[in-house]
Amino acid sequence: VTTAIGIDLGGTKILAVLVRDGAVEAVAKRDTPREGPPAVLEALVAVARELGPDDLGCVGVGAPGPVVPGTGRVGPATNLPGWDRPIDVSTPVAAALGVPTELENDANAAAYGEHQLGAGAGSHDMLAVWLGTGVGGGLVLGGRLWRGRGLAGEIGHVVVHPGGRRCGCGGLGHLEAYAGRAAMEREARRRHADGRATRLVEIAGEKRMKSSVFAKALAAGDEVAAELVGEAVEAVGAAVGNAALLVDLDRVVIGGGLGERLGQPFIDRVVTAAGRRLDGSGLQIVPAQIGDEAGALGAALLAVDRYPR
Ligand SMILES: [Zn+2]
């Protein structure tokens, strides 16, 4: 029996799962503390203790920032207050819980979760694309998570329009600038300020323009929403098509808030946008299956791979 805890450390919440022999047995969650890294590390330990089985073998943590493989450190993490440099997560968590602890980037962990037990099952070479506030990704090649030196799978910052829209990272024409929810919101508000009427702003008001707002406005036939989603489709299609050709992917899994909200019709359009060169290649582009727990589950499974009993 292998028992592991996987923890997905997010900007707003921490979600933990207890995994026994590859199945999720319990879930715990709490808000992410805003007081800085020491409070966050304490919360990771506390949520693991809450699930705390007697036979715990290892812990995996997925975190929202760059992870240099093998260091146990993540950062800087822009979504976590005060996390302005690489900080060691593995050592303090392992010391507090008394079991080995593996740290992975959250998008990579979620990709591995989908590959092992979700929409990527049976795939040999897979890319997962997470369309959330930003755009993340994870690459599984030959059935193993492909980390490179820590940058592999970072599809959100590949160029889809040279010299195009400015990305949150400062670069121009990146996928995230067209298909990330926050960038799409910025663009919607810019077009609204330029005099375009749009249901997007009517529905969202001053509040965050959530994925559901895009889905509602699109369903209502809103022109600006249709333009922005159309641009997102073209951008995701270009990035996925390029990645698929580069390493001959057999599957692409699309998930994240926006991916889930827009669903199969969105994915059907991405398939078309990915290009005819891929027709007959056997590439499947499919929606993610696991949802919110993919990152925590993947982190647990990666820890089990690294620290088998
Ligand atoms: Zn970027």
Ion ligand 1 nearby residues (CB, 5 A): 157, 167, 169, 171, 174
pLDDT-derived band of residue 278, with 50, 70 and 90 as boundaries?
confident
The one-letter amino acid at 138:
G
How far is the C-alpha of 65 from the C-alpha of 134, rounded, in Å?
12
The mean pLDDT of 150-176, rounded to a whole number, is 96
User: For 214-260, what is each residue's pLDDT tens digit?
Assistant: 999 999 999 999 999 999 999 999 999 999 999 999 999 999 999 99
β pairing state of 251-255 and 284-287: parallel
C-alpha dihedral (163, 165, 167, 171), degrees to nearest 10:
10
What is the structure's pLDDT at 213? 97
Distance from the CA of 177 to the center of ligand 1, in angstroms? 7
Q: What is the pLDDT at residue 296?
A: 98
Q: How far is the CA of 170 from the centre of ligand 1 (A)?
A: 6
| pLDDT per residue as tens digits for the range 23-79 | 999 999 999 999 999 999 999 999 999 998 899 999 999 999 999 999 999 999 988
Q: What confidence category does residue 280 fall into, taking pLDDT thresholds of 50, 70 and 90?
A: confident
Is a pLDDT exceeding 90 seen at residue 197?
yes
Distance (angstroms) between ligand 1 centre and the Cα of 173 equals 8
Report how far ligand 1's centroid is from the alpha carbon of 99 (Å). 36
Predicted local confidence at residue 159, as pLDDT? 98
pLDDT at 13: 95
On average, the pLDDT of the chain sits at: 96
